Structure 1
């Protein structure tokens, strides 16, 4: 099975440093400490296609401790005070994602989500007072009501419905022409993963599924989701499309999926890119997961 993108990180997140001001000060003062170079929230890659690092003196906002890479402290910079998080994802970003080394992608995912969270959660959700960064960047505290807030992760189910040797895929209008992928949707409160898979497939395509099985997960830093990949067995192949969610949904054969994953232009559709867990999901289905 193809490993999901943004996984396989080798960074030591060093939770102990987040709770100890002296350890954090030592990490900042360490001559090997480096700051991740970003263009807003987008990564910059060097000639070797690796992430670019610079001196901590280049930080435009408060320092956020990421962890240790082979013993060397690594930091990111919060956006300057009052600067909103960039909206959307430039198309050039996707070309960069194709070039990432796996361990760099995982580190970037953590840094991007953390920076974005701080930019969007500057005020207390309890009393609306402006909050301040603490725990080395992994929390915000309220000076008025003492509430503590921590980076959140939004769970998303992403899934295939299978029926014999066929699998259900859909497409959304913004995607490249011809691309089809797994259906997906946010988990709702009071809902299990299995229930969410069944609900989302039925809502978007009108298909009922049973025997849902988990395959893999992936952090998706746009802005901060956890993709939970599953496969369910469809009860029939009748599609009732929700046009508010999907432009189209179709059943594809195992042969078509194999050819699409191999990049065959005559496969009948374009597969999702390798860094997307939908690619992992299709690979796992082909391998009999």
Structure 2
């Protein structure tokens, strides 16, 4: 992975010290609430608030309900107008009532998918971490081992049940791959869950006991019937919708007739080879491509040779 490619990955930028050693600080929640310099980031169902200048909007400790789940995100590593280096950041998971008190206009609460590319590196790191952890807490209120209710501990990074079992956040690895043929066309597929004219790279989750490279080969053949040569790693970025790490590759289809590409008919309903001219002429019109926050868009633009003037 080149530094230039990594810098273009929308949700992989970060300027934050996660400060893991302080997550186990005794009575950490009180320490954070009592420190007037702590910045609290309200998170409501994965949505956040922004200021007029586009920066994340923080609130004071007294605006955060006592029963809100707090997630210690870490410390700033550089000075910014709203927070000097060393400032501690906390995500506060708020319910409907608390969110309405903080900001009653529901339209102001925004999803990270929509504005992720507009944030600074620090705010991107905070937002991605907060959303990923919020999603994990939302589905781990009960122990998968005992069925007992769990409680948040260690700065929000562990959930513990009454029997003492500890449960830690997990990330699902998924591969995504830009495949080209002998004419340097790129293979894109349309998912059954999307609009019929929306296309993206082929992708899929890594199965247990499988390497990333084997997952690339398997997913491409399963979804499009295409056999590829040795895949090459490009880069990765978190995709907390709800809990994935997208690992990007590029690969070449083996010699043969590329017209044999065919969709699996279940998950993928169409696959097409696109030339650069076809992308330039059709993208945004008859063909919809992935949004700017996705690694898929970056890989497509890497193949295309520059940015596409699309949302």
TM > 0.5: yes
User: Corresponding residue for 2:292?
Assistant: 274
2:65 aligned with 1:65, yes or no?
no
2:163 aligned with 1:126, yes or no?
no
| Residues 33-87 of structure 1: CA deviation (Å, up to 9, x unaligned) | 121133432122211111110012222412211111221111112355xxxxxxx
What is the TM-score normalised by the length of structure 2? 0.80
C-alpha contact 2:186 2:273 (8 A) present in aligned 1: yes
DSSP-derived class of the 1:201 partner: helix
The runs of at least 4 aligned residues of structure 1 exceeding 6 Å deviation read none
Deviation at 1:101, TM superposition (A): 3.5
User: Corresponding residue for 1:201?
Assistant: 220
Q: Distance in 2 between matches of 1:203 and 1:187?
A: 13
2:54 aligned with 1:49, yes or no?
yes
User: Corresponding residue for 1:158?
Assistant: 176
C-alpha contact 1:18 1:24 (8 A) present in aligned 2: no
DSSP-derived class of the 1:21 partner: coil
C-alpha contact 1:50 1:104 (8 A) present in aligned 2: yes
Aligned residues: 273
Q: Distance in 2 between matches of 1:178 and 1:159?
A: 20
Residues 180 and 122 (structure 1), Cα distance of their counterparts in 2 relative to 1, 3 Å cut: same
User: Corresponding residue for 1:115?
Assistant: 134
What is the TM-score normalised by the length of structure 1? 0.85
Return 5+ residue gaps in structure 2 as ranges.
77-84, 96-109, 307-311
C-alpha contact 1:78 1:118 (8 A) present in aligned 2: no
The one of 86, 91, 98 aligned to 1:76: 91
Alignment of 1:194-233 (within 5 A): 194-233=213-252
C-alpha contact 1:158 1:278 (8 A) present in aligned 2: yes
Return 5+ residue gaps in structure 1 as ranges.
81-91
DSSP-derived class of the 1:200 partner: helix
